[in-house]
Structure 1
Amino acid sequence: MARMDFLCWRAATLLLLFASGLECISVHISNEEPMYIIPGSTLVLRAHIQYGSPDELAAVTWERQAESGAPDGRAALAACPGGSLPLAVQCAATRPNVRASVEREASVLHVSNYGKADVGVYAVTATGKAGQSSTARCIVREYEAVHHVTVSINVSHSSLVCGEAWGTEPRFSWLHERDAVTAGVGRVSPDGATLVVTKLPICGHFTCVVSNKMGYSSATYTAAPCEQSGISGSTVAIVCLVVLQILGGGLAFLLWRRYRNRNRGDRLREHMDDNI
Structure 2
Amino acid sequence: MDLQYFLSWRAALMLLLLPCGLQCMSVRILNEEPVHVVPDSSLVLKARIEHGPLEEVSAVSWEWEPETGISPDRVTLATCPGRGPECAGTRPNVHVNVEQQETTLQINGYSGAEGGVYAVTVTDHKGAKTTAHCIVRNYEAVHHVSVSVNVSHSTLVCGEAWGTEPHFSWFHERVAITKTVGRVSGDGTTLFVTKTPICGHFTCMVSNKMGHSSATYTAASCETEGKGTTAAVLCSVLLLMFGGVLAFLLWRRHRHRNRGERLHEHLDDTI
Query: Normalising by structure 2, what TM-score?
Result: 0.76
How far, CA to CA, are the matches of 1:193 and 1:166 in structure 2? 14
How far, CA to CA, are the matches of 2:207 and 2:176 in structure 1? 15
What residue number does 2:25 align with?
Answer: 25
Q: Does structure 1 residue 212 correspond to structure 2 residue 208?
A: yes
How far, CA to CA, are the matches of 2:86 and 2:49 in structure 1? 16
Matches for 1:216-235 after TM superposition, within 5 Å = 216-226=212-222, 227-229=224-226, 231=229
**Deviation by residue 1:19-45 (Cα, 9 ceiling, x = unmatched):** 874442211111133111111110111
Matches for 1:49-198 after TM superposition, within 5 Å = 49-52=49-52, 56-68=56-68, 70-72=70-72, 74-82=74-82, 85=83, 88-198=84-194
Q: Is the Cα–Cα contact under 8 Å of residues 168 and 212 in structure 1 kept in the other structure?
A: yes
Aligned letter for 2:213?
S
How far, CA to CA, are the matches of 1:149 and 1:207 in structure 2? 10
Shift of 1:78: 0.6
**SS of structure 2 residue aligned to 1:89:** coil
- Call closer, same or farther: CA 1:157–1:27 in 2, change over 3 Å: same
Count of equivalent residues: 238
Unaligned runs of 5+ in 1: 1-5, 248-276
Aligned letter for 1:218?
S
- Call closer, same or farther: CA 1:13–1:54 in 2, change over 3 Å: closer
Q: Is the Cα–Cα contact under 8 Å of residues 23 and 132 in structure 1 kept in the other structure?
A: no
Q: Is the Cα–Cα contact under 8 Å of residues 102 and 108 in structure 1 kept in the other structure?
A: yes
Q: Percent identity of the aligned residues?
A: 59
Shift of 1:196: 1.2
- Call closer, same or farther: CA 1:180–1:18 in 2, change over 3 Å: closer
**Deviation by residue 1:41-99 (Cα, 9 ceiling, x = unmatched):** 101111121234598211100011222375445211110012xx3xx522241122211
Shift of 1:161: 0.9
**SS of structure 2 residue aligned to 1:40:** coil
**SS of structure 2 residue aligned to 1:76:** strand
Shift of 1:11: 4.9
**SS of structure 1 residue aligned to 2:135:** strand
Unaligned runs of 5+ in 2: 1-5, 246-271
Q: CA RMSD in A?
A: 3.4
**Deviation by residue 1:177-201 (Cα, 9 ceiling, x = unmatched):** 1111111111111111111111122
**Deviation by residue 1:201-247 (Cα, 9 ceiling, x = unmatched):** 21110000101111111111111111325546xx87xx79xx7xxx9
106-115 or 50-59, which deviates more: 50-59
**SS of structure 2 residue aligned to 1:184:** coil
- Call closer, same or farther: CA 1:8–1:114 in 2, change over 3 Å: closer
Aligned letter for 2:76?
A
- Call closer, same or farther: CA 1:103–1:200 in 2, change over 3 Å: same
**Deviation by residue 1:251-274 (Cα, 9 ceiling, x = unmatched):** xxxxxxxxxxxxxxxxxxxxxxxx
Q: Is the Cα–Cα contact under 8 Å of residues 23 and 130 in structure 1 kept in the other structure?
A: no
**SS of structure 2 residue aligned to 1:138:** strand
Q: Is the Cα–Cα contact under 8 Å of residues 24 and 55 in structure 2 kept in the other structure?
A: no
Aligned letter for 1:120?
G
What residue number does 1:271 align with?
Answer: none
Query: Normalising by structure 1, what TM-score?
Result: 0.75
